[in-house]
Amino acid sequence: MRNILIFLLLFALMIVLNSAVYTVNEAEQVILTQFGRPIGDRVIDEPGLHYKLPFVQKVNRFDQRYLEWDGEANQLPTRDKRFIWVDTYARWRISDPLLYFQRLRDENGAQRRLDDILDGETRNSIANHDLVEVVRASNREPAEDATLSEEERQILEPIEYGRERIRQEILQNAQQRTGDLGIEILDVRLKRVNYIEDVRKNVYDRMISERNRIATRFRSEGEGEASRIRGEMERDLKQIESEAYKDAEEIRGDADAEATGVYAEAYNQSGASRDFYDFLKSMETLTATVDGETTLLLSTDGEFYRYLENSSP
């Protein structure tokens, strides 16, 4: 009987002890509440073992870390009336658990408020700027691409604000609105920005026609250059042929002239030489022309047959 009593006593002690001691780990911060109301304004965030009044006081734990917020992707219009899907995310912290506890109570409440605030600020900022300001961040010069022609070289339109400034605008506005909620927003970023489906098709069409233009240009450049080379080829060909002809004929002509001169010099020395040449040539021709088919009609008056009739002329 006594054993049971001792055991029960120990048992009760354990329960009391259990409710009087609690731990706080590195990622937590704790507020003690008594009957639903916070005690003092102390936030217990030192990790380790802590004590409280058993049963009466309750431990309310809050995450000390940076917490996620992920907005639903929304279709938002920009100032230049383009509709885009914007998906933002944010990271935030419970900076003042007491305030947080009073205003928002728990994370569900916090997420809902953040939805309102962040979605609202995002919508506002996007609507105040053109699409190009939301996408681009700087006025940098695009890298040179030598294969593109002058008109195709993409110009990046100069921007005034840029993505970064818009983002900071959203962040600052949101931070102001969370100031009295015990929340600190660390960062807001545009995770995704995309065209809506209809606009996407148009963009694709534009991209396709742009590419087609470039392809056509390449093809016609090829044709043009090939034609030019062909023309050059024909011109050079004609030039070579005609020059060769000219040179050859000149050479032949000079040779003929020289030969003629040489002959004339020999044959034309005097009247007697001309005569002799005449005679010589005639003799040669005679030798050449008389052949097996020839019939000769000869007169006895001629030199050859002179002595046929008489022995003396």
- Write out the binding residues for other proteins, residues 128-147 only, by CB under 8 A: 131-132, 135-138, 140, 142-145, 147
- Please give the distance of CA 89 from its chain centroid, rounded to a whole number: 28
Site for other proteins in 58-117 (CB under 8 A): 61, 63-68, 70, 89, 91
The encoded tokens of residue 150 equal: 């002058």
Residue 9 sits in the site that holds other proteins (CB under 8 A):
no
Other beta carbons within 10 angstroms of residue 62's beta carbon come to: 24
Angle at 173 between CA 168 and CA 177, to 5 degrees: 145
Q: Which of residues 230-249 bind other proteins (CB under 8 A)?
A: 230, 232-233, 236-237, 240-241, 243-245, 247-249
**Which of these segments, 108-116, 121-129, 176-184, 277-285, binds other proteins (CB under 8 A)?**
277-285
Told to check if 15 binds other proteins by CB under 8 A, we report yes
In the complex with other proteins, the residue whose CB is nearer, 127 or 180, is 127
Smallest gap from Cβ 211 to other proteins, in A, equals: 4
Of these, 41, 116, 256, 278, which contacts other proteins (CB under 8 A)? Answer: 256
The minimum distance between CB 3 and other proteins, in angstroms, equals 9
Closer CB to other proteins, 112 or 263, in the complex? 263
Residue 263 as a binder of other proteins (CB under 8 A): the answer is: yes
DSSP alpha helix (H) spans, 131-196: 131-135, 163-178
Q: For the purposes of burial, counting CB atoms within 10 Å of the CB of 265, is it exposed (0-12), middle (13-18) or buried (19 or more)?
A: exposed
Q: What is the C-alpha radius of gyration for the chain, rounded to an integer number of angstroms?
A: 57
In three-state secondary structure terms, 30 is: strand
168-187 positions binding other proteins, by CB under 8 A: 186-187
Q: How far is the CB of 247 from other proteins (least distance, A)?
A: 5
Out of 94, 114, 118, 190, point to the residue binding other proteins (CB under 8 A). 190
* Nearby residues of 86 by Cβ (< 8 Å), 6 or more positions away: 73, 74, 75, 76, 122, 126, 134, 190, 192, 193
Q: Which of 41, 160, 164, 180 binds other proteins (CB under 8 A)?
A: 164
Task: Spell out, one character per residue from 203 to 222, where the chain touches other proteins: x when CB under 8 A holds, - when not.
Answer: xx-xxx--xx-xxx-xx-xx
Judge contact between 178 and 103, C-beta under 8 A. no
> Nearest distance from residue 210's CB to other proteins, in Å?
8
How big is the site for other proteins, counted in residues (CB under 8 A)? Answer: 126
Which part of the chain contacts other proteins (CB under 8 A), choosing from 96-104, 116-124, 175-183, 279-287?
A: 279-287
- Confirm or reject binding of residue 304 to other proteins (CB under 8 A): yes
* Sole binder of other proteins in the list 5, 158, 198, 295 (CB under 8 A): 295
Q: What is the dihedral of CA 187, 190, 192, 197, to 10 degrees?
A: 150
